[in-house]
Amino acid sequence: MTDPASGGLADIITARLTAALAPTQLEVINDSHHHSGHLGDDGTGESHWTVAVESAAFAGLSRVQRQRLINNALADLLAERIHALAIRARAPGEA
């Protein structure tokens, strides 16, 4: 599920993570309004994000390995458009 107030970048993040991880649950949250005027705020309103992803691709992987999969899917966005990304990644059946 994508935060509809997020606009274009949320749709790109959703598409990338869906293609890379085939998630059973996905939430993309734009947190930029909490960081307005802070370091990394580029004025676009799309600089700080949280993703909550549930995917079978994470089964048996460590937290770091899961984050790497997400970071790889969003690599160019992290380099150019996303200042901060909070990640909650779990396999199906995990709390």
pLDDT in tens, 52-64: 999 999 999 999 9
Average pLDDT over residues 68-95: 95
89: which 2 tokens? 């990644």
Single-letter code of the amino acid located at 86: A
Q: Are 70 and 87 in contact (CB under 8 A)?
A: yes
pLDDT at 5: 44
Q: Are 19 and 57 in contact (CB under 8 A)?
A: no
List Cα–Cα distances, 24 to 14, 71, 76, in angstroms. 12, 18, 24
pLDDT in tens, 6-49: 458 999 999 999 999 999 999 999 988 665 656 655 656 678 89
Query: What domains appear along the chain, each with residue ranges and CATH number?
Result: 4-90 (3.30.300.90)
Q: Are 41 and 26 in contact (CB under 8 A)?
A: no
pLDDT at 42: 62
pLDDT at 6: 46
